[in-house]
Copies of this chain bind each other. A is one copy, B any other.
Amino acid sequence: MFGAMQDWPLRLGRLFDHVAREHGTREIVSYQADGGTWRSNWAEAVADARRFAQALERLGIRPGDRVATLATNHLRHLIAWFGTIGMGGVLHTINPRLFDDQLAYIANHAEDRVLLYDPAFAPLVERLKPRLASIEHYIPLDDAFNALLVAEDGDYRWVEGDERAPAMLCYTSGTTGNPKGVLYEHRSTLLHMMGQVQPDVFNFSARTVTFPITPMFHANAWGLPFAAASVGAKLVLSMVNDPSVLHRLMIEEAVTHSCAVPTIWLAMLQHIEREGGDFGKLAMISCGGSAAPRAMIAEYLDRNIQFAHLWGMTELSPIGTVCALPADWDERDREARLDFVTKQGRTPFGVELRVVDEGGRELPRDGRASGRLQVRGPWTVDRYFQDEKGVCTDPDGWFDTGDVAVLHPDGMLQLTDRAKDVIKSGGEWISSVDLENAAIGCAGVAEAAAIGVSHPKWDERPLLLVVRKVGSEVDEEEVRTYLSTKVAKWWLPDAILFVDTLPHTGTGKLLKTALREQYRDYKLPDT
């Protein structure tokens, strides 16, 4: 027996109709690379998206075909999103910061038929062209794009279809192996959006002025263009990420909500400390990508701005947890508030979390047991694009995030390490991140990296690599004595080596794979 409510598939075209109809005059502001500011609104953007859908059909693009973008945050990029999705295509955002090999691999693997790109990326596109096998139409997002729109009448109804049909595609830039594509559905995107606007996630209303600094090529700007459309928020986009431009837009456009990675929020604070001024009407920051420092969060809280940590992944559309305010927020003093908001937060309905041991058995949510973090839900990846087999090999459909975490009894998530970096000693886990953070507190230590080195009895034991601060002569004994006051005795490294530099990835993270390779045959002192 089925229920008796309407059959109304969760298709993104219905969202575009909704915002054009209910919030058509609400503004979209786009700060362009040339310093100009374009002002449009949801009704106009959706009308242009209809024209772009017609243009794509005229080019022979069909539902399911991939239309790629190499673009920053701006109005035409948004129109390209809505138009492609509305005609049943798959909008594939490509991160222009990747290496040429990765870019070519991604576009070929996705079998993109169209590539839209910012004029600034023209040299990159020219360089890549000989290596791109499937692209038939190269369209710069300038007057050429405009000419496509002008040629159409906009009398167009969105393509209907199954709510599980694909709408967007985004590749993860993993540190190992080839990038993997996550193929978002109409349904998954809309459920994510409905979860996202609630008070304990992004808290979006018709009074919101949202300014996603997060790139549109990075997990769909965390889905914010859709969230803004659903409530009729004013949307501010900027092609330029210079703190002075960002700050000016925040003030001039009366931004209330913004989101970015911690480095942006640090740069914004430094800008204001240097230049003066304040954050205007900014009421809420969503911050993800990596953990934000406590001292920086404190500065925002002291300015009466809510600072919400977000943990997510491309594979999660991207929202996993958000550190929204707890029930007892009003009763907490400043330090107790900071203790709370430095954690990764809790899951909204639609994300299930668990931690498991190496045998796949669920661990208690006791704030102590550390294990592999797994996720399940309607906006969690099932399989990567073009893969026959799902990534969720667990029989109950859990996706393994590759993170190691602790879950607290109140549902709070605390990330400890990446699974591949954890040091496995005698059946117990040592967090390489915790060990490194402890070592950095020792006077004279500039940077530290902890890796597991094989050990005949304990399986692995920690090796700590230390870069001294300029002029420091800190030695192994001093570091060891300091560490013994900070971590459990069995966590103490079996060896501490001093090195001149440590290898890093393009985004500044420690390249542990290289270190593990380099020290694979290292013999620990007592073996």
Chain A residues proximal to chain B, CB less than 8 Å: 1-8, 10, 14-15, 17-18, 21-23, 25-26, 64, 162, 164-167, 182-188, 191, 194-195, 197-200, 203-207, 230-232, 234, 317, 324-327, 329, 346-350, 352, 365, 376-385, 387, 392, 397, 399, 410-411
Which 9 pairs from chain A and chain B are nearest by CB? A3-B185, A199-B205, A5-B188, A22-B411, A8-B378, A4-B183, A194-B194, A3-B166, A230-B349
Q: Which residue of B lies closest to A387 (CB)?
A: B4
Residues of chain B contacted by A17 (CB below 8 angstroms): 352
* Interface of chain A, main secondary structure: loop
- A379 and B385 CA atoms in complex are apart in Å by 32
With beta carbons under 8 angstroms apart, the residue of B3, B197, B383, B392 that contacts A199 is B197
Chain B CB within 10 A, most for which of A6, A22, A64, A346? A6
Q: Are A5 and B197 in contact (CB under 8 A)?
A: no
Q: Which residue of B lies closest to A9 (CB)?
A: B378
Q: Are A4 and B382 in contact (CB under 8 A)?
A: yes
Residues of chain B contacted by A164 (CB below 8 angstroms): 2-3
With beta carbons under 8 angstroms apart, the residue of B14, B317, B376, B385 that contacts A8 is B376
Q: Which residue of B lies closest to A88 (CB)?
A: B1
Chain B CB within 10 A, most for which of A231, A325, A399? A231
Residues of chain B contacted by A18 (CB below 8 angstroms): 347, 349, 352
Q: Which residue of B lies closest to A411 (CB)?
A: B22
Q: Closest approach, in angstroms, between the C-beta of A349 and any C-beta of chain B?
A: 4
Q: Are A376 and B6 in contact (CB under 8 A)?
A: yes
Q: Closest approach, in angstroms, between the C-beta of A14 and any C-beta of chain B?
A: 8
Q: Are A5 and B327 in contact (CB under 8 A)?
A: no
- A25 and B349 CA atoms in complex are apart in Å by 17
With beta carbons under 8 angstroms apart, the residue of B194, B207, B326 that contacts A206 is B326
- A365 and B166 CA atoms in complex are apart in Å by 33
Residues of chain B contacted by A410 (CB below 8 angstroms): 25
- A195 and B384 CA atoms in complex are apart in Å by 30
Q: Which residue of B lies closest to A63 (CB)?
A: B1
Q: Are A378 and B10 in contact (CB under 8 A)?
A: yes
- A378 and B184 CA atoms in complex are apart in Å by 21
Q: Are A198 and B207 in contact (CB under 8 A)?
A: no
Q: Closest approach, in angstroms, between the C-beta of A277 and any C-beta of chain B?
A: 21
Q: Are B378 and A206 in contact (CB under 8 A)?
A: no
Residues of chain B contacted by A232 (CB below 8 angstroms): 327
- A10 and B190 CA atoms in complex are apart in Å by 13
A194-B191, A199-B203 are known contacts. Are A6 and B392 too (CB-CB below 8 A)? yes
A18-B352, A23-B411, A378-B8 are known contacts. Are A325 and B207 too (CB-CB below 8 A)? yes
Residues of chain B contacted by A10 (CB below 8 angstroms): 378
Residues of chain B contacted by A380 (CB below 8 angstroms): 5-6, 8
Residues of chain B contacted by A203 (CB below 8 angstroms): 199
- A495 and B392 CA atoms in complex are apart in Å by 75
Chain B CB within 10 A, most for which of A5, A21, A324, A387? A5
Q: Are A205 and B3 in contact (CB under 8 A)?
A: no
A5-B378, A8-B377 are known contacts. Are A205 and B194 too (CB-CB below 8 A)? no
Given A6-B380, A17-B352, A18-B349, 9 more contacts at CB 8 Å?
Answer: A5-B185, A5-B381, A5-B382, A6-B399, A8-B380, A191-B194, A198-B231, A199-B205, A207-B325
Q: Are A2 and B184 in contact (CB under 8 A)?
A: no
Q: Which residue of B lies closest to A197 (CB)?
A: B198
Residues of chain B contacted by A185 (CB below 8 angstroms): 2-5
A5-B381, A22-B411, A167-B3 are known contacts. Are A205 and B200 too (CB-CB below 8 A)? yes
A206-B324, A206-B327, A234-B327 are known contacts. Are A385 and B4 too (CB-CB below 8 A)? yes
Residues of chain B contacted by A162 (CB below 8 angstroms): 2
Residues of chain B contacted by A325 (CB below 8 angstroms): 205-207
- A399 and B381 CA atoms in complex are apart in Å by 36
Residues of chain B contacted by A184 (CB below 8 angstroms): 3, 5
Q: Mind listing 14 A-B residue pairs with CB under 8 Å?
A: A1-B64, A1-B166, A2-B165, A3-B184, A3-B187, A4-B185, A5-B379, A10-B378, A22-B411, A23-B411, A194-B349, A197-B198, A206-B327, A232-B327
Residues of chain B contacted by A23 (CB below 8 angstroms): 411
With beta carbons under 8 angstroms apart, the residue of B183, B198, B397 that contacts A3 is B183
- A319 and B376 CA atoms in complex are apart in Å by 29
- A182 and B411 CA atoms in complex are apart in Å by 36
- A170 and B133 CA atoms in complex are apart in Å by 58
Residues of chain B contacted by A326 (CB below 8 angstroms): 206-207
